[in-house]
Amino acid sequence: MHDVSQITSFLARVHPYDALSAEELADVAGAIEVVSVPADASVYDVGDTLKGLYVVAEGEVSVSDASGAQVSQLGSGNSFAERGLSRDGKAVTAAKAVTDAQLFLLPASVFHRLVKENPSVAKFFKRSRTGDSRKTDLSTARISELMSRQVIGVTPGQSVQRAAQVMRERGVSSLAVVDGGRLVGIVTVRDMTRALADGVSPEEKVTTLMTADPVSLPPEALGTDVLHTMLERRIGHLPITDKGTLVGIVTQTDLIRFQALSSAQLVYDAAHAADSAEIARVTQRLPELLAQLVGAGNPHEVVTRLITDIADAATRRLLTLAEAALGAPPVPYLWLACGSQGRQEQTGVSDQDNCLIIDDAMQPEHDAYFKALSKFVSDGLDHAGYFYCPGDMMATADRWRQPLAVWKDYFAKWIAKPDNEAQMLASVMFDLRPIGGTTALFDDLREATLRSAASNSIFVAHMVSNSLKHTPPLGMFRGFATIKSGEHKNQIDLKHNGVVPIVDLGRVYALQGQLTAVNTRARLVEAQEQGIISKSGAHDLLDAYDLVAETRLNHQAAQIRAGAKPDNFMAPTSLSDFERSHLRDAFVVVRTMQSAVGQGKGALG
């Protein structure tokens, strides 16, 4: 038996209880019930109502999922059952004693109070990010938090003089030109100054001065989108629209209270670089930026978005420099990114994956221009650290630099005859995102391809099969299936066996639901909203994705801080027992979701 003093002494050596004050620790120890469980006996089963949190005092306990697969084997000092306590009190795993075991049972009410009142305990047990409070800055703030909702506007029929009077009366530096609630243009003080200098009549309609169809952003975008857009386009006023309807505006004045992150400076520097060497000097600062963003506690999807924004700016600048060197393009074109850049999920390790869609007016003699442009941009990206794609998935390859009609034919053939190569290529191309050029070349292609692919059950089945080729690194017993030999022996690949299986699942859900989102996390959220996967399945998978992706970024940030080159290979022994347990738990969730998709059940059951 254990008395209160013995329990107190034990917990004082176990994290996170070692962070409690002496008074808190005494209260916890006094509330604990000692439970003895003989070898092979059950502690609880899936679906049981949990009495509280268990801490292993002596012996070993095996935890398994609903299918019976072992999640982890826990020894002295490990806690378990907190997942069930954080939801409806029902166990989502099963636990049994491997050896004779003594467990400390902390009542659920005491556990919840500890999590609520003690930040160290809350941080230790918090797996879901829901409700997680993070420092908000310009980079992570939603535009809806930054914008002015009281937008001063005029109608298209009003005169230049009346517009100037409104500006003076309301003390604003810009006016929205609105027709029936829809934004049609914007007029700024600079436009007024230019009109005065040019002798424009005050009676002219304001439409003669306005910037028609100005660039705008949706309210759900990030604050960094505002800053990046303003810096890259050299504008000081950015309308915010929701499906074409004007809902607000952000100006430089609105941003004064925020301290811009260095990502915005890197975007600006890349967007105004004189040559590829200067772009390379900008991207050399990316590892430090990644480490700073991770260290600040930003969610993984924000970190990778900011890192990708810099690649986008570098690519667009290289396109501009290429046109300056080669002359204007003979016909319109569109440069697109696929892979991690296309999904806006770049980390500290990225190669380049891109392609070129050219207007169907292209003539055979025009290919020399686009071949030279592609080489200029790809060479510049390689110089900047975005290395050539090992699979030659780049616009420099003749195959991936074609007119729109050829691209339509590609997708039609892949969908009609989904062999192994077609599956691989379609998987890559479903992550396409326009970067620079005429975006209209892609609009119809995306929707038409999604409709055609989703309606072909054979193609969908092949895509599902292809998505199961990457599996989580789960070992047969308590650990992980690590790499057996070579440079990365005893490590796990957090890319190909970590995030890629979830990326593949997100792509399948997007195909099944004809979802237009390209980012993986956005796909999972949209799949839940559209009923492609159940709320519980989506909740588990999002938790798993967040844990795996953030483990990967934390690993890379630690390497950068140590002066090493970041990679995707991590030794599980570098994690604590608790971290290993939850990471393995996340991999079990992914495997379960893969199994459901493979059996044609989705995650609705």
Q: Where are the domains of the chain?
A: 4-125, 143-255, 267-410+433-440, 468-598
Name residue 61's beta-bridge partners.
Answer: 74, 97
Q: Kindly tell me if the per-residue pLDDT of 590 is higher than 90.
A: yes
User: Are 331 and 368 contacting, i.e. CB atoms less than 8 angstroms apart?
Assistant: no
pLDDT bucket at 131, cuts 50 / 70 / 90: very low
Q: Distance between CA 329 and CA 366 in Å, rounded? A: 9
The span from the CA of 596 to the CA of 455, in Å, is 20
Question: Could you tell me if 129 and 50 are in contact, meaning their C-beta atoms sit under 8 angstroms apart?
Answer: no
77 vs 68, residue with greater confidence: 77
What pTM value is reported for the model? Answer: 0.66
Q: Indicate the fold that domain 4-125 takes in CATH.
A: Jelly Rolls (2.60.120)
User: Tokens 């629209």 appear where?
Assistant: 241
What confidence tens digit (pLDDT) does each residue in 472-515 have? Answer: 998 765 679 899 999 999 999 999 999 999 999 999 999 988 88
Could you tell me which residues come within 8 angstroms of residue 417 by beta carbon, excluding any fewer than 6 positions away? none
Helix (H, G, I), strand (E, B) or coil at 178: strand
Report the range out of 88-102, 171-185, 347-361 with the highest average pLDDT. 347-361
Check residue 136 and give its pLDDT.
Answer: 46
Q: Nearest CA to 338 among 519, 193, 494?
A: 519
Q: Which is higher by pLDDT, 384 or 85?
A: 384
Model pLDDT, residue 257: 41
pLDDT digits (tens, 9 = 90+) for 253-280: 777 543 444 577 888 889 999 999 999 9
DSSP of 215-237: --B-TTSBHHHHHHHHHHHT-SE
Q: What percent of the chain has pLDDT over 70?
A: 91
Per-residue pLDDT at 64 exceeds 80: no
Lowest mean pLDDT among 111-125, 466-480, 559-573: 111-125
Mean pLDDT for the stretch of residues 148-173: 88
Per-residue pLDDT, 477: 57
Q: Per residue in 429-473, pLDDT tens?
A: 889 999 999 999 998 888 888 888 888 889 988 889 888 889 999
What is the tens place of the pLDDT at every residue in 313-341?
Answer: 999 999 999 999 999 999 999 999 999 99
pLDDT of 87 > 60? The answer is no
Residue 259 has a pLDDT of 42
Can you tell me the distance from the alpha carbon of 517 to that of 471, in angstroms, rounded to the nearest whole number? 23
- Answer whether 4-125 and 267-410+433-440 agree in fold: no
What's the pLDDT band for 605 if we cut at 50, 70, 90?
very low
**What Cα–Cα distance (Å) separates residue 454 from each residue in 160, 416, 462, 508?**
51, 12, 12, 10
Give the CATH class of 267-410+433-440: alpha beta
The 79-80 sheet, strands edge to edge: 33-37, 101-107, 52-58, 79-80
Q: What is the mean pLDDT of the chain?
A: 86
What does the block give as tokens for 46? Answer: 């899936």
Q: What is the mean pLDDT of residues 410-438?
A: 87
HSE-CB for 590 with a 13 A CA cutoff = 32
What is the second-level CATH architecture of the domain 143-255? Roll (3.10)
Tens digits of per-residue pLDDT, 231-244? 888 888 889 988 78
- Work out the pLDDT band at 298, boundaries 50, 70, 90: confident
The two structure tokens encoding residue 295: 């260290």
CATH of domain 468-598: 1.20.120
pLDDT attached to residue 478: 60
Give 38's DSSP letter.
Answer: -
